[in-house]
Amino acid sequence: MVAATAVMGRWRRVRRARYQNYHVRSLPTVGHKVDSVTKKQEYTDDYPEKTLYLPGPTEVRDEVIEEMAQPVFGHRMDRMTDLYTTIVEDTKEFLGTEQDVIILTASGTEFWESTTLSLVEDRMLVPTSGAFSERQANVAERLGKEVDRIEYEWGKAVKPEDIRDALESSEEGYDVVGMVMNETSTGVRNPVEAIGDLLGDYPDTYFVVDAISCLGGDAIDIEAHNIDCIFTSVQKAFAMPPGLAVCTVSDAAYERELEKDSASWYGGFQRCLDYYDRKGQTHSTPAIPLMLAYRKQMKHMLDEGHAARDQRHQEMAEYTREWAREHFGLFPEAGYESQTVTCIENTQDIDVAATVEAVSEEYDMVFSSGYGDLSEASFRIGHMGEHTVESIKELTDAIEDVADL
């Protein structure tokens, strides 16, 4: 595999072994299963309620949870058609898009796989600047695709000029540019709009955006910025129970899949969208209780309005950043801070794990330590979904108390 790397603004190519940096776990020797160290830990009914300030899942309104307690009905009944067409069309309205929408029982990871299988014939370009963009590249490699990377130091944002340089210098070209809009591991919000704009000059290259931790809390004009597929998981800024994933599909992306010899089965565009057009349902049995919850929450999101929801998330982000600058520092590159999760640099050298635990025990609030190797060098506050500045302030007050700031 060939990987493309940007270091200090310079472009170079490096040879990369297939599956290198596969972060889920080290790949075992072929033919051998990893010895399990997992033991059963009995689930009980005795857990204290916690308020979630995680990068996901986040808080879910009581009335949304109650929707899941409705009696079960069949997934081929007219009632299911009413439900699924409602949530699909409401989602289009909320996002302000004319693109098709697929809602599947899955996590957003499904659309990493399906967009790669359905759009990439040979190679794709993936700028990596954190754990999840690296994982997007690894998934594509695992699926047998050639991946060129533009690698950035964690905390730095993807630069449009590097994308253009890569496109211009590639003799073979790229089927897809795939990138993460909101890098949850570092709190970086990448300039997806500018990159999509320049991709207008490359009509044979499709643009796939992972917006898992920001869509619904960070407004973007999908068509205006040449995005062919943008996807999310509903337990993030949509503030729904985990278990559903959403993806938009441009007409060009749909036609591209039809041209390929192979494509994704479960999340394939043709399979999902043709069944919707014919039946108004999903091709396979969905998690109906989750879709009932989705309908309730999406109506609430429409009532609030996308612009107002975006503004509320801006206000939460601004408050959190100001608090972080006063007491610590910000990990992401200046000017590229996320609107839904703030990654705070631990400049005071507090014991992050102990602080997270103490806030949970004393205040029943849960926030996140840093991701991976950044576990003590940073911590993360999710300000997404149904939170407000007031609820975020309750958490920061608790952190100040526990950490004696």
Does 242 map to a domain? Answer: yes
318 shares a domain with 391: yes
92 shares a domain with 238: yes
Structural domain that includes position 204? 62-303
225 shares a domain with 143: yes
Which parts of 57-175 fold into alpha helices (H)?
A: 62-67, 78-95, 109-119, 131-142, 160-169
Question: What average pLDDT does this structure show over 74-85?
Answer: 98
The predicted-structure confidence for 164-221, as pLDDT tens digits, reads as follows 999 999 999 999 999 999 999 999 999 999 999 999 999 999 999 999 999 999 999 9
Check pLDDT > 90 for residue 27.
no
The burial class, CB within 10 Å (0-12 / 13-18 / 19+), for 347 is middle
Domain end, chosen from 303, 333, 362, is at: 303
Which parts of 235-382 fold into alpha helices (H)?
A: 251-259, 269-279, 288-304, 306-327, 352-363
pTM of the complete model: 0.91
Separation CA 270–CA 235 (nearest Å): 26
315 shares a domain with 254: no
364 shares a domain with 230: no
Share the mean pLDDT of the chain.
92
310 shares a domain with 298: no
Q: Which of 68, 75, 74 has its CA nearest to residue 275?
A: 75
Separation CA 144–CA 127 (nearest Å): 18
**Count of domains forming the chain:** 2
Domain end, chosen from 303, 325, 357, is at: 303
74 shares a domain with 186: yes
Does 25 map to a domain? Answer: no
Question: What average pLDDT does this structure show over 303-313?
Answer: 98
333 shares a domain with 211: no
Residue 157, CA distances (Å) to 54, 148, 273 in order: 22, 17, 34
142 shares a domain with 189: yes
Check pLDDT > 70 for residue 371.
yes
How far from the centroid of its chain's Cα atoms is residue 391's Cα?
Answer: 23
CATH of the domain at 344: 3.90.1150.10
Does 41 map to a domain? Answer: no
313 shares a domain with 297: no
310 shares a domain with 299: no
The predicted-structure confidence for 223-264, as pLDDT tens digits, reads as follows 999 999 999 999 999 999 999 999 999 999 999 999 998 899
Percent of the chain with pLDDT over 70: 92
Does 73 map to a domain? Answer: yes
350 shares a domain with 234: no
Does 126 map to a domain? Answer: yes
Domain end, chosen from 281, 303, 325, is at: 303
CATH of the domain at 269: 3.40.640.10
